[in-house]
Amino acid sequence: MSLDDQRAKRTSIFEFANPKRFMDASEGAIPWLAAIAVLTVGVGLFMALFVVPPERYQGDTVRIMFVHVPAAWIGMMAYGAMAVASFFSLVNRHPLADVAARTAAPLGAVFTALALVTGSLWGRPTWNTYWAWDLRLTSFLILLFLYLGYIALWNAIEDEILAARLAAILALVGAGDLLIIKWSLEIARWLGIEANMLHQGESIFRADGPSIAPIFLWPLFLMALGYTALFLLLWVVRIRTEILERRTRVLLSREA
């Protein structure tokens, strides 16, 4: 479908039919997401601060893990969501896919930045440095820049449909880049190369089960669930906002 055809189809979708299904479905989902978020984060925070004992080597700094690791997971998840939405945007040309991708980016950026800041604060007392250039940490910094570039590209192009197409390409290229970094970490380990691994190896998602004691694991999963619910909630609200704004623009252009 050429861009011109897409433009014609786009105005017709928003002129004659609201994305009603999404608005209805999301309206039902929002209270649930909010409830899950409040509950899990509430309990998780309580456990993280009051129930969890100081860790043997890290002492009380281990509590930072409960805000750092979930933020990092969401930072990555948001990019995954952005990439999937971008893929559908290019293949299906579904207008909601554009909106989904665009709205996920600032959220992903916030969580990634939080992960970097909290990670830095965790690193200083535990490894005696605010930052280290190992591949894991570096790839997170790259992730943040990918988000910023993506947002900048959207803002730099006036034609929204063109912007959506180009941003989708950028998101997928970035995803490829991140995958390469991830795989090269694996390959480096397989080849026996010292890749400056300051960041701890995978201690949760391991084949033989997590290597962290259960008392630490439960608050971590609760916080991860809570952060996920929060992300989904914010994402859904942002998509609704975008839909409302577009409907406003369509009505305004009709009056004019």
The minimum distance between CB 179 and another protein, in angstroms, equals 10
194 φ/ψ angles, rounded to the nearest 5 degrees = -80, 105
Q: How far is the CB of 209 from another protein (least distance, A)?
A: 27
Instruction: Select 175 or 207, whichever has its Cβ closest to another protein.
Output: 175
- CA-to-CA distance for 108 and 73, rounded, in angstroms? 10
Q: How far apart are CA 39 and CA 75, in angstroms?
A: 21
| Cα separation, 82 vs 143, whole angstroms | 12
Residue 91 or 206: the one with the smaller Cβ distance to another protein is: 91
Distance between CA atoms of residues 224 and 73, nearest Å = 8
d(CA 52, CA 215): 7
Of 156 and 213, the one with the shorter C-beta distance to another protein is 156
Q: By C-beta, is 184 or 210 nearer to another protein?
A: 184
Spatial distance between the Cα atoms of 117 and 100, rounded to a whole number of angstroms: 26
- Least CB distance to another protein at residue 130 (A): 10
Nearer to another protein, 183 or 206 (CB): 183
Q: How far is the CB of 222 from another protein (least distance, A)?
A: 15
Contact call for residues 4 and 197 (beta carbons, < 8 A):
no
Please, what is the minimum distance in Å from the beta carbon of residue 208 to another protein?
27
- Would you say 164 and 98 are in contact if contact means Cβ atoms under 8 Å apart? yes
